[in-house]
Chain A
């Protein structure tokens, strides 16, 4: 559809339900040359952070969105001048999340036949990026969507009605009215665009991207994560709890939530609002597992090339217990519950120097032995930290394990991910003097490797007795590890 020499770069849709993306970093500035498939921009979305490969070879002519700016999916974010007579197709040979070329005016006229249509970015005219161009008369509000300075939101009657009629999430609609209020026109454009976009973001410093944390000490369970986040399955309209536009005072730093933070915040809040959360703690004697791991670790490394951690043990023991107590592996919808016979195991992973959290999912974990689980855990944690998870690797979780114990935490009350009814919190393994009873019934004080497991569960479905028995089963599985049954 190229009609000229310009090729658009649009915000790709990273997963069917993703509606917006944030520009993390421009890899190219205006005027620089770029090869097709070379990274032009790094973006962050609800589900995944990724690099966007250039759809064409040429010169970056214009950037329409600044770093830190969030724009709806399919919004044109840059244009590349491919030179020539303009008769060429876009030079993207991959044909992936490419772009269509558009007339230089780019008033959203280039409705392509595929999902790669470009739309006019909104509110980009005050972007800090040199070379960005104003495309919209509407100034980006400096407060969050629908919020004025004091954090209140006003939704006009007509907007409330339209949002209800179309089943939209008001938080997902960029507001151009006073104080960032969502106007009727905003909703109309939102609907017409077919997008399910989130608000235009003001130009503030996004959270800095830190280097991935170093691999945890192998003596501790791998994949540490302080708290879980629900897989962003329902991120269709990423509602955002936006902070008021405060000013950072001396000794303060204003942190504007990045996409991950926003999603975490929303899902945590929503989970607490819907599920009846309660936590049960049980103490497990991990001495047997510790010894087993010590014994098998070198062999394991040699045979499978994978570092053996505690997490796969806990995971395996849990999956087995789920087989007996399946109600902890379920999904509550109103007054029904979907009990799942398979286990898609979510593994909470801290990212961004523990300032972010991702929950990759091991699909059909019940089919995997310790080796398979080990491989999956390591691979997914790695991808999470490098933000190369595919959307599918982040969705469909049925039960989640989180592991703050790696940092020495002893007891926690994690929040259940949305769409699940339980999360198992794996705490630190510590040596403790405990009373042990031998086969003759004699008590003695012994030094044992002890660990607390904390299970947060949804009391709407799971009662305390049920949870306790599930936990007892996990404990038993770990304390009486059956090499034969679980293998290595």
Chain B
């Protein structure tokens, strides 16, 4: 067990799995010589060579499509979208080809798409998005959104071993900011198992990714202020998502805030809220509240971006309003 950054944990997970399994190879833009836009794959080219660390042309479609082909041929490809925003260019390959392949003709497509996502540093409309909602709507894909370094490693290795196309969203704002204990060696985290980030009794926040920390700060604030006890459930994976953990927490607190950095309408929070309404209606003691980014593109200028991203104060306000309900 060592303390590592979120980024280091991803890098380590990837490296370790490549050492263990020669079928794993990487393809993406600037991942080889440069070591990746965020240096996740720094040193990989030197260790694994050009065959397994492939610098590709600017071709998201070909990157994802070729991963599908390689996966069908028994490889375990891991590709990188330099920014998760660019996955829109590969939408067809993911949604049309990879996601439906097994359902249609029974051939598994074990591949991972790494997606550096999220805002908070003036990346603007094309370097800040959290596009998991698009893909959560597509059966056949799995979606992973780790929040902690340990999960970043464990979920990545699990993703590589999964027999399905997995979208691995790694939040850029966590890369170097978040440090934590990461198990050495082989470490996997099951999909669909939420993590109890913080136990509480008054109110539950269902979230994932970077918003786990926003929720945590808000929970600290209200706890200090008036003792409100907030439970934070980190979904860890959006597809599949841990309904039981959510429903269990709803049963416990009866008040729920769903928090995500993705935009509001038809964001994954809507699915969580709807599921709670369908399956836990009689457990509710207040409306299910969503705290999300608004329905706008991600703006560039700092005050605009701050207004866009869910802030601690927004979550605190939501907690207080729901607590008083």
Contact = CB atoms under 8 A, between A and B. Distances in A.
Direct contact of A and B (CB under 8 A): yes
Interface of A: 137, 156-161, 177-178, 181, 183-185
A184 B324 contact: no
Contact of B325 (A137, A157, A161, A181): A181
Q: Which 6 A-B pairs have the closest CB atoms?
A: A184-B285, A161-B282, A184-B254, A156-B285, A157-B282, A158-B285
Interface string B282-324: 1111100000000000000000000000000000000000001
B91 interface: no
Contacts of B254: 156, 158, 184
Interface string B251-289: 000100000000000000000000000000111111000
Given A158-B254, A161-B282, A178 B226 contact: no
Contacts of A183: 285-286, 325
Interface centre among A157, A160, A177, A178, by most B CB within 10 Å?
A157
B280 to A, nearest CB: 9
B324 A178 contact: yes
Contacts of A178: 324-325
Given A158-B254, A183-B325, A184-B254, A137 B283 contact: no
B282 A158 contact: yes
A277 to B, nearest CB: 37
Identify which of B202, B227, B254, B284 gathers the most chain A CB atoms within 10 Å of its CB. B254
Given A137-B227, A156-B254, 7 more contacts: A157-B281, A159-B285, A161-B283, A178-B324, A184-B254, A185-B202, A185-B285
Given A137-B226, A137-B227, A184-B254, A160 B325 contact: no
Given A137-B226, A137-B227, A184-B254, A157 B283 contact: yes
A322 to B, nearest CB: 48
Nearest to A159: B285
B282 A177 contact: no
Nearest to B250: A158
Contacts of A185: 202, 285
Given A137-B226, A158-B254, A184-B254, A177 B281 contact: no
Interface string B220-238: 0000001100000000000
Nearest to A186: B285
Contact of A160 (B202, B226, B282, B286): B282
Nearest to B253: A184
Given A137-B227, A158-B254, A184-B254, A177 B324 contact: yes
A183 B325 CA distance: 8
A202 B104 CA distance: 66
Contacts of B284: 156-158
A428 to B, nearest CB: 55
A184 B251 CA distance: 11
Contacts of A161: 282-283
23 contacts: A137-B226, A137-B227, A156-B254, A156-B284, A156-B285, A156-B286, A157-B282, A157-B283, A157-B284, A157-B285, A158-B282, A158-B283, A158-B284, A158-B285, A159-B285, A161-B282, A178-B324, A181-B325, A183-B285, A183-B286, A183-B325, A184-B254, A185-B285
Contacts of A156: 254, 284-286
A181 B255 CA distance: 14
Contacts of A160: 282
Contacts of B285: 156-159, 183-185
Q: Which of B227, B254, B283, B285 has the most CB of A within 10 A?
A: B285
Interface string B35-68: 0000000000000000000000000000000000
Nearest to A154: B325
A354 to B, nearest CB: 42
A408 B152 CA distance: 88
A184 B202 CA distance: 10
Contacts of B202: 185
